[in-house]
Amino acid sequence: MRSLTTLRRVLLGSATVAAVLAGALAGAAPATAASPSPSPSVTAVPTAGTTTVVQATADCAVTPRIACVRGALRDDNGNGVKGVTIRLDGASGATASAVSNAAGAFVFTVTKGGTYRITLVTSTLPKGIKPLAAASRPIPVTLGQLQPAAFALKGTFKGSQTTSGPSTSELHLVLDQISGGLLLGLLLALASIGLSLIYGTTGLSNFAHGEQVTLGGLLAWLFAVVLGWNFLLACVVTVLLCAASGYLQDRFIWGPLRRRHLGLTQLMVVTIGLSLALEYVFQYFAGAQVHPVTTSIQINTGPLDLTPNAYLAMLISIVVLVAVGLLLQRTRIGRATRAVSDNRPLAAASGIDVDRIIRLVWTVSMGLSGLAGILYALVYGGINWSTGQAVLLLLFAATTLGGLGTAFGALIGSLIIGLVVQVSSLFLSGDMRYATALIILILVLLVRPQGILGRRERVG
Amino acid sequence: MDFLVGLFTDFGQQILSSVTAAFAIAAIGLNVHFGYTGLVNIGQAGFMLIGAYGLAITVEVGGGFWLGVLIGLVGAALFALVLGLPTLKLRGDYLAIVTIAASEIVRVIGDNQSLSQWTGGAAGIAGRVYQGAFTALSPFPANQQFQVGPYTYPLTEGDSWFLRIVCWVVLAIVAVIVLLLMRSPWGRAIRGIREDEDAMRSLGKNVYLYKLQALMLGGVIGAIGGMLYVLSANVLADSLGRTTTFLLYTCLLLGGAATVFGPVLGSALYFIVIIGLNDVVAQFVPPQIMNEQQIPQFGWIVVGVGLMLLVIFRPQGILGNKKELAFGD
């Protein structure tokens, strides 16, 4: 019986991926693809004024003039709690009530910013469930932003299905982390291949690489959310712009500095300065808040803790990574790139235009990092100016583990780091899981400093 | 005219402050790494944070001021040992990667709620918890203001004259120690390592050991800077993140790496530029173009771009000697 249920969920999940892909190919923003969960039932209470400021809606799309407040109610088994009333009150008497759907989700669309009070109507909670904290609290609502509003609950309702005994639910948890780790690993791989190739062809550790990831996410936010473009178009333009930023960087900064024979240590400090400047340029123009790249809300589908967007992101990453791999293995230019990465003077002596290859590497790497940024924002709910900082450390851990300068090493390293970081979140709270990446980094340097695929003579 | 008087009063106040001295000390530590030994440590803020936590937590649990200082210094030395052992035999990049990662980890652990009974989590440790142990050492009378020129501060409490005097005396001591060390055979050896590691190895020097000693010395000096910094502030993990390290690099390269007074001059100049920028923008630039929140952000952009330009066009800074800074490439 249980296996049948699982099978159904798997089928549902893959059907959703197909639906998302069909939607994406048809040119619609993937996030608007229908989710299989039923819509929340809506009871909008009209407000005193002529225009409705707060409304309970089935779905909500963030635009510069609209804010979304959303949350989900789950019991101890992780099942959605249905039929609970949640009220959102504004300062000027604006109010609306939403009733949670079968997945426990509720959504409000708000058209005026300010501080609101969100209230869980405890009398509508099913028997056996109690709120863990205060049932009412003020929340800030800013137009153009998504405001999460969860209520922690305790207990289970009657008929709440346990996934089964504790052992299976632990297994489920581990599977969730593994799939999440795979996702993180694939996203990291997109960015770390570029980092590794730049290191291989120029010897430079680019400390501004994380900011290129941020750039991708923020540009996608600008086009898709602020300007309201079609999502796919926004993605394509973003990746092209990021690639162009790589080309221009090499044309105007790194190329001339190579010709001036600036030392690698100095170059590294230049990338540090660039990273700092870019971070605060982002903050100057985009502020410090987290910006989403899509405007609608998704609910997990399939047996795993993954949204349709996450499946889509994995698929795109795999396609792009395979394409890059084929490019490196099968084409002339790919072979030339690997030759330069292997031994620059020898490649130059055998007639390869090293400068052209390096420019190409910068261009492609930055395009890939931009794509990684878009997908990161798509999967993890948004991106802000400092996302690149956190990602950079994982990227360095991944490239070092795989072997600095090797593209395929970066891929393997990224998958391992993604898995380890995600699985360690079972034991470590919050950002502490990043510490595991550092421990791996130090162990690798102690035991095998050249990394998994690196060669010994690379290390001085 | 009033504007200029105000501006220069602000300059003086900032230069005298304990924060300038604390950053100058941390920059001297970084100078031992980067300027003299050629080690790229991008985690100096982590050393500062370890010093600060060591002092604050020890005082908080009743260990007393001097034990706190000792624990902070030993903690920084051990941190340097852990980071240096696996990386110093490898290319310079590895040290850079490991130090930036480790300093971020220290920050993240400090921020983490699960250790908040000691570190205070993201809220940090309030200054009043541990600063009392320091002000108790003051020879000056309590609860008295003292005026010198346009500047009036308390003699003993908080952001006081006592703190200022201590900071600048410690700065002078650290600078003299570094000056003497660099003139000693040990200093010549580490500068030799910066110039040509293989040559030093062929002279029979244990390059690895020298680098490790330099990393520990600079880290301990960084921890002193961190302790002095939090004596006028709270211990907040986020206030000593990697931007602090980048800032220290800018200060160091501005004043002149591999010089004793370069870091001090650089730190003072940095604060003058930031205060000047703040005052000028607030006075002359309309808020539609740059609002109050954006002024510090603009300041950081200036620091980042300034760092790039310095390295490219004047790597020796103001006081440095270009011949001495080949950066071993």
| Lowest-confidence segment of A90-104, A224-238, B132-146 by average pLDDT | A90-104
Q: Which of A249, A280, A433 is the best mutation test for B, with the most CBs of B within 10 A?
A: A280
Whole-prediction pTM value? 0.78
Rounded to a whole number of angstroms, the distance from the CA of B91 to the nearest CA of chain A is: 5
- pLDDT tens digits, A146-190: 777 777 777 777 666 554 444 457 777 888 889 999 999 999 999
pLDDT band at B180; cut points 50, 70, 90: very high
Most confidently modeled of A100-109, A189-198, A451-460?
Answer: A189-198
User: Dihedral (C-alpha) B173, B175, B181, B182: value to the nearest 10 degrees?
Assistant: -170
Work out how many domains chain B is built from and give that number: 1
Q: What residues in B contact A432, CB-CB < 8 Å?
A: 108-109, 112, 114
Q: Which residue has the tokens 């390096």?
A: A358
Q: What residues in B contact A276, CB-CB < 8 Å?
A: 243, 246, 300, 303-304, 307
pLDDT band at A21; cut points 50, 70, 90: very low
Q: What residues in A contact B300, CB-CB < 8 Å?
A: 276-277, 279-280
Q: Which amino acid is at A103?
A: A
pLDDT at residue A119, as a whole number: 83
Q: CA A115 from chain center: how many Å?
A: 28
pLDDT at residue B70, as a whole number: 97
* Inter-chain CB pairs, A–B, below 8 Å: 148
User: Can you give the three-state secondary structure of chain A, one letter per residue?
Assistant: CHHHHHHHHHHHHHHHHHHHHHHHHCCCCHHHCCCCCCCCCEECCCCCCCCCCEEECCCCCCECCEEEEEEECECCCCCECCCCEEEEECCCCCEEEEECCCCCEEEEEECCCEEEEEEECHHHCCCCCEECCCCEEEEEECCCCEEECCCCEECCCCCCCCCCCHHHHHHHHHHHHHHHHHHHHHHHHHHHHHHHHHHHHHCCCCCCHHHHHHHHHHHHHHHHHHCCCCHHHHHHHHHHHHHHHHHHHHHHHHHHHHHCCCCHHHHHHHHHHHHHHHHHHHHHHHCCCCECCCCCCCCCECCCCECHHHHHHHHHHHHHHHHHHHHHHHCHHHHHHHHHHHCHHHHHHCCCCHHHHHHHHHHHHHHHHHHHHHHHHHHCCCECCCHHHHHHHHHHHHHHHHCCCCHHHHHHHHHHHHHHHHHHCCCCCHHHHHHHHHHHHHHHHHHCCCCCCCCHHHCC
- Name, in order, each residue with C-beta under 8 angstroms of B315's C-beta and a sequence gap of 6 or more: A266, B253, B257, B322, B325, B327
pLDDT band at A301; cut points 50, 70, 90: low
Q: A356 vs A439, which has greater pLDDT?
A: A356
C-alpha to C-alpha distance for A211 and A267, rounded to whole angstroms: 17
Does domain A37-162 correspond to CATH entry 2.60.40.10? Answer: yes
pLDDT band at B296; cut points 50, 70, 90: confident
Closest in B42, B89, B312 to A270, CB measured: B312
Assess whether pLDDT exceeds 90 at residue B280: no
- Name, in order, each residue with C-beta under 8 angstroms of A126's C-beta and a sequence gap of 6 or more: A81, A82, A83, A84, A157, A158
- pLDDT tens digits, A79-91: 778 788 888 887 7
pLDDT band at A294; cut points 50, 70, 90: confident
- Name, in order, each residue with C-beta under 8 angstroms of A149's C-beta and a sequence gap of 6 or more: A69, A70, A71, A118, A139
C-alpha to C-alpha distance for A175 and A164, rounded to whole angstroms: 15
Q: Do A270 and B311 touch (CB under 8 A)?
A: yes
| Lowest-confidence segment of A29-38, B148-157, B317-326 by average pLDDT | A29-38
C-alpha to C-alpha distance for B210 and A213, rounded to whole angstroms: 38
Instruction: Tell me what the mean pLDDT of segment B280-289 comes to.
Output: 84
| Lowest-confidence segment of A63-67, A198-202, A256-260, B48-52 by average pLDDT | A63-67
Task: Look at the alpha carbons of A182, A186, A192, A197 in this order and tell me if their dihedral is positive or negative.
Answer: positive
Domain coordinates in residue numbering, chain A: 37-162, 173-458
Instruction: Tell me what the mean pLDDT of segment A312-338 comes to.
Output: 94
C-alpha to C-alpha distance for A253 and B99, rounded to whole angstroms: 26
Q: Is A340 left (phi over 0), alpha (psi -120 to 50) or beta?
A: alpha
C-alpha to C-alpha distance for B132 and B148, rounded to whole angstroms: 24
Could you give the angle at which helices B262-284 and B2-16 cross, rounded to 10 degrees? 150
Q: What residues in B contact A449, CB-CB < 8 Å?
A: 86, 89-90, 94
Instruction: Tell me what the mean pLDDT of segment A289-310 comes to.
Output: 78
In chain B, whose CA is at the least distance from the CA of A273? B304
pLDDT at residue B188, as a whole number: 94
pLDDT at residue A195, as a whole number: 95
Q: What ipTM score was computed for the predicted complex, to two decimals?
A: 0.91
Assess whether pLDDT exceeds 80 at residue B232: yes
Could you give the angle at which helices B18-30 and B161-183 cross, rounded to 10 degrees? 20
Task: Identify the CATH class of A173-458.
Answer: mainly alpha
C-alpha to C-alpha distance for B180 and A41, rounded to whole angstroms: 77
Q: What is the mean pLDDT of chain A?
A: 80
In chain A, whose CA is at the least distance from the CA of B91? A460
CATH number assigned to the domain comprising residue B280? 1.10.3470
By percentage, how much of chain A surpasses pLDDT 70? Answer: 81
C-alpha to C-alpha distance for A187 and A414, rounded to whole angstroms: 8
Q: How far apart are the first and last CA of chain B?
A: 50
* Token couple for A155: 């207990």
In chain B, whose CA is at the least distance from the CA of A265? B327
In chain A, whose CA is at the least distance from the CA of B194? A265
CB A236 within 8 A of CB B11: no
pLDDT at residue A43, as a whole number: 39
Q: Do B246 and A397 touch (CB under 8 A)?
A: no
* Token couple for A206: 């680019």
| Lowest-confidence segment of A208-212, A452-456, B36-40, B161-165 by average pLDDT | A452-456
pLDDT at residue B193, as a whole number: 92
Q: Do B304 and A266 touch (CB under 8 A)?
A: no
Residue B329 lies in a domain: no
| Lowest-confidence segment of A101-115, A149-163, A321-335, B280-294 by average pLDDT | A149-163
Q: Does an H or E element contain B153, and which?
A: strand B151-154
- pLDDT tens digits, B185-213: 999 999 999 988 899 999 999 999 999 99
C-alpha to C-alpha distance for A137 and B288, rounded to whole angstroms: 34
Rounded to a whole number of angstroms, the distance from the CA of A399 to the nearest CA of chain B is: 11
Domain that holds residue B152: 2-324
Assess whether pLDDT exceeds 60 at residue B327: no
pLDDT at residue A136, as a whole number: 78
pLDDT band at A433; cut points 50, 70, 90: confident
Q: Which of A257, A265, A392 is the best mutation test for B, with the most CBs of B within 10 A?
A: A265
Query: What is the largest distance, in Å, between two alpha-carbon atoms of chain A?
Result: 80
Assess whether pLDDT exceeds 80 at residue A416: yes
Q: Do B42 and A277 touch (CB under 8 A)?
A: no
C-alpha to C-alpha distance for A57 and A96, rounded to whole angstroms: 10
Q: Which of B78, B82, B104 is the best mutation test for A, with the most CBs of A within 10 A?
A: B104
pLDDT at residue A430, as a whole number: 66
- pLDDT tens digits, A233-288: 999 999 999 999 999 999 999 999 999 888 888 899 999 999 999 999 999 999 88
Q: Which of A391, A427, A445, A455 is the best mutation test for B, with the most CBs of B within 10 A?
A: A445
Residue B212 lies in a domain: yes
Assess whether pLDDT exceeds 50 at residue A345: yes
pLDDT at residue B286, as a whole number: 85
DSSP strand pairing (A146-148 vs A67-72): parallel
pLDDT at residue A135, as a whole number: 75
